[in-house]
Amino acid sequence: MQREQNMTAVADQGHMQPSTAYRASSWMIVLLAAACGLIVANLYYAQTLVGPISAAIGLSSTAAGLIVTLTQVGYVVGLLFIVPLSDMMENRRLTVLSLFVAVVALLAAAFAPNPVWFLTASLFIGIGSVVAQILVPYATYLASEEQRGAVVGKVMSGLLLGIMFARPVASLITSIWGWQAVFILSAIMIALLTVLLSRLLPERRPVPAATYSKLIVSLGTLLKQTPALRRRALYQACLFGAFSLFWTVVPLRLAEDFGMSQQGIAWFALVGVGGAAAAPIAGRLADKGWSRLLTGLAMIVAALSFLLIFFVQSHSTIALILLFISAITLDMAVSGNLVLGQRAIYALGSEARGRLNGLFMSIFFIGGAIGSSLGSWSYTHGGWSFTALIGAALPLLAYLYFLTEKK
């Protein structure tokens, strides 16, 4: 264990070398923020397009959730097996190779002739898009010590904007040119981004702390020896599962029960963007020692968001308004708790911060994949009421677990 810590310390010194030799300029920060937003958006485009995609490729309503689920599974695979390579392999080269995979997968999805082809492409879209989690820590190595916090904050803002605007943009494009255009346009943007990053990113060649196999094996050791990581990851997995369930099913409800077009669903998805305002607020309040209170509050708000729409299930204007409110409050709960979780993980120390963050995100994305799958299954077999109950149960389970946490 001591030997591993010493090797990690040496690696950290190697990581810091670019920071002293290069000061991140404003345009480089903007480029990295935009890159993260465009890349991570690939994970969310399909969430509001489940209906038209399923109809086009002949996928049953029961299996429709796999469209979102397999993309998230691919992202988890990338987090566990691709991101650790950033501690061994030259980062610019790794970035370009990963983005090439994403471009090919996006084009494959756009021209998929059958469900198997499309679902396979979805898996590789997730794997290729994991490069966003390589660029965020990469930004810290480009920044000087005094600007590091500000740089990470700005890059993460770009990533969050990509998540927030992916759903409405995808719905809007689909309403004009069809769902295939979403994947074609994204492939073009990612291809241009790949060329740009290959030419403009400074080289970062890390000093390996261990062999690839040892880094992968160490993930299990970290998970076993870090109870705070397990707890925070499970909290977020439950909330993100509820979030994914909601956004997998709500476009179907909006189309079937309220007769909304893809353009109307786009406007609905845009409303959820307001929920992201909770992230910086949660961060500031957590700095004042409110993490525990806010964590419990996030779980309660998420559960109430589903209960609110469970009790009013008519096709009335009031029911639609409540759906809007639920979208905002659910996004607030999930984004706020994500910041609280990341803050707790980063406080565990810097020696294995990348692997800790990779484990944290992997676990909660597994929760998201389960939530997407549950959503399509529950909506098919029990309708909206059954789906809403499952959505409420997930954060309530997290809250029961939260009550066992020692102060």
Which residues lie closer than 8 Å to 288 by C-beta, 6 or more apart?
Answer: none
Residues 86 and 134: beta-carbon distance below 8 Å: yes
CA-CA distances (angstroms) from residue 296 to 301, 334, 340, 388?
A: 9, 12, 11, 20
pLDDT at 224 over 80: yes
The domain ranges of the chain are 1-218, 226-407
Please report the pLDDT score of residue 294 as a whole number. Answer: 92
The answer on pLDDT for 398 being more than 80 is yes
Torsion, CA 206, CA 209, CA 210, CA 212, rounded to 10: -40
Cα distance between residue 368 and residue 363, in whole Å? 9
Q: Are 391 and 80 in contact (CB under 8 A)?
A: no
Q: pTM to 2 decimals?
A: 0.78
Contacts of 12 (CB under 8 A, 6+ apart): 350, 351
3-state secondary structure of 1: coil
Across the chain, how many H-helices and E-strands are there?
16, 0
Task: Check whether 1 has a pLDDT greater than 50.
Answer: no
- Report the topology of domain 226-407: Growth Hormone; Chain: A; (1.20.1250)
In the predicted model, what is the mean pLDDT of residues 95-106? Answer: 97
Low-confidence winner among 87-91, 116-120, 178-182 (lowest mean pLDDT): 87-91
SS3 347: coil
The CATH architecture one would assign to domain 1-218 is Up-down Bundle (1.20)
- 341-356 average pLDDT score: 72
Check residue 299 and give its pLDDT: 96
Does 136 score more than 80 pLDDT? no
Cα–Cα distances in Å, from 236 out to 130, 293, 303, 398?
19, 15, 13, 8
Query: Does residue 66 surpass a pLDDT of 90?
Result: no
Whether the predicted pLDDT of 302 surpasses 80:
yes
Considering the chain, what percentage of its residues have pLDDT values greater than 90? 38
Q: What is the pLDDT of residue 301?
A: 96
Check if the beta carbon of residue 84 is closer than 8 Å to that of residue 355. Answer: yes
Around 324, how many Cα atoms within 13 Å sit in the side-chain half-sphere? 14
Domains 1-218 and 226-407 share a fold: yes
Which has more confidence, 122 or 364? 122
Would you state the pLDDT for residue 402? 95
Is pLDDT of 231 > 90?
yes
- Mean pLDDT to the nearest integer, 207-227: 84
Sign of CA dihedral 375, 377, 378, 379: positive
Q: Do the Cβ atoms of 96 and 191 come closer than 8 Å?
A: no
pLDDT-derived band of residue 144, with 50, 70 and 90 as boundaries?
low
- Give 110 or 213, the one with higher predicted confidence: 110
Give buried/exposed letters for 301-335 (b at 16+ CB in 10 A, else e). Answer: bbbbbbebbbeeeeeeeebbebbeebbbbbbbbbb
pLDDT of 165-196, one tens digit each?
A: 898 899 899 989 999 999 999 999 999 999 99
Which pairs from 21-24 meet CB under 8 Å and 24+ separation?
A: 22/142, 22/202, 23/142, 23/143, 23/144, 23/147, 24/139, 24/142, 24/143, 24/144, 24/147, 24/151
The H or E element containing residue 151 is helix 148-177
**Mean local confidence (pLDDT), 340-364:** 76
What value does the mean pLDDT of the chain take? Answer: 84
Pick from 14-23, 82-91, 203-212: least confident: 14-23
* Cβ atoms of 348 and 229 closer than 8 Å: yes
Residue 176's pLDDT is 92
Closest among 329, 339, 290, 282 to 306, alpha carbons compared: 329
- Does the pLDDT of residue 351 top 70, yes or no? no
pLDDT at 360: 87
What pLDDT does 407 receive?
67
Q: Which of 36-45, 114-123, 244-253 has the lowest mean pLDDT?
A: 244-253
Cα 277 from chain centre: 17
Question: Pseudo-torsion of CA 144, 147, 152, 158, nearest 10°?
Answer: -120
Q: Give residue-wise pLDDT tens across range 2-37.
A: 444 444 443 343 444 444 445 567 788 889 989 999
42 has a pLDDT exceeding 70 = yes
Q: What is the pLDDT of residues 249-278, one digit of tens each?
A: 898 889 888 888 878 888 888 877 777 667
- 377-397 confidence digits (pLDDT tens): 898 888 889 999 999 999 999
